[in-house]
A = this chain, B = another copy of it.
């Protein structure tokens, strides 16, 4: 059984490892909002416990054990988010911080019963997949909106930024999960994107377009 801090490190290393092979000390420090020196201490400890492989100056990779531990935390986080939105009527931009605390509650029975209570949801309010109790989940095939070409269309199925500010902004623009969109134009000058949703033409910045995930068509 790990401490809250260890769990947070594992989760962050897991997410960073989705994009790079060797996860670097500085990257972890930034995510954990702590100093690189503190990270070095902790990754030694996590390596001792067999959660990660660590070579000095080379960064870390997750072991099978570490990955399983991280997936378990991610599962809990996402199930709690569904609970908060579906049952307690939280908005999708209000759930992150609370789920960040709830994910550390240690009880297998609790999480299995919660899963059942929620009807075994496959994805959370932000479109992220929820691992089942064996840690399995569909690797989702998302395209970033920014990568689409003029004329392309698809459905908003996820976001890669969970900050309240970002999500509130999307909400205001009507860009919520499940919405159909089509790329009308891309502005050369600032790279902003003209999109069509429900016959309405709107313009979103590159920064926003980067964090909207689209599934090519008709898919769930």
What residues of chain A have their CB less than 8 Å away from a CB belonging to chain B?
84, 87-90, 94, 97-98, 101-102, 105-107, 109-110, 113-114, 117
**Cβ–Cβ contact A117 & B88, under 8 A:** yes
**Cβ–Cβ contact A107 & B113, under 8 A:** no
Report copies per complex.
2
**Cβ–Cβ contact B88 & A98, under 8 A:** no
Nearest chain-B residue to A113 (Cβ)?
A: B88
**Cβ–Cβ contact B101 & A88, under 8 A:** no
Which B residues are in CB contact (< 8 Å) with A102? 102, 105
Which B residues are in CB contact (< 8 Å) with A110? 84, 88, 98
**Cβ–Cβ contact B94 & A109, under 8 A:** yes
CA A109 to CA B114, docked complex, whole Å: 20
A-B contact list, 18 entries, CB within 8 Å = A84-B110, A87-B117, A88-B110, A88-B113, A88-B114, A88-B117, A89-B113, A90-B109, A97-B107, A98-B105, A98-B107, A98-B109, A98-B110, A101-B105, A101-B106, A101-B107, A102-B102, A102-B105
Nearest chain-B residue to A89 (Cβ)?
A: B113
Which B residues are in CB contact (< 8 Å) with A97? 107
Nearest chain-B residue to A94 (Cβ)?
A: B109
Given A88-B117, A98-B109, A102-B105, 15 more pairs with CB closer than 8 A: A84-B110, A87-B117, A88-B110, A88-B113, A88-B114, A89-B113, A90-B109, A94-B109, A97-B107, A98-B105, A98-B107, A98-B110, A101-B106, A101-B107, A102-B102
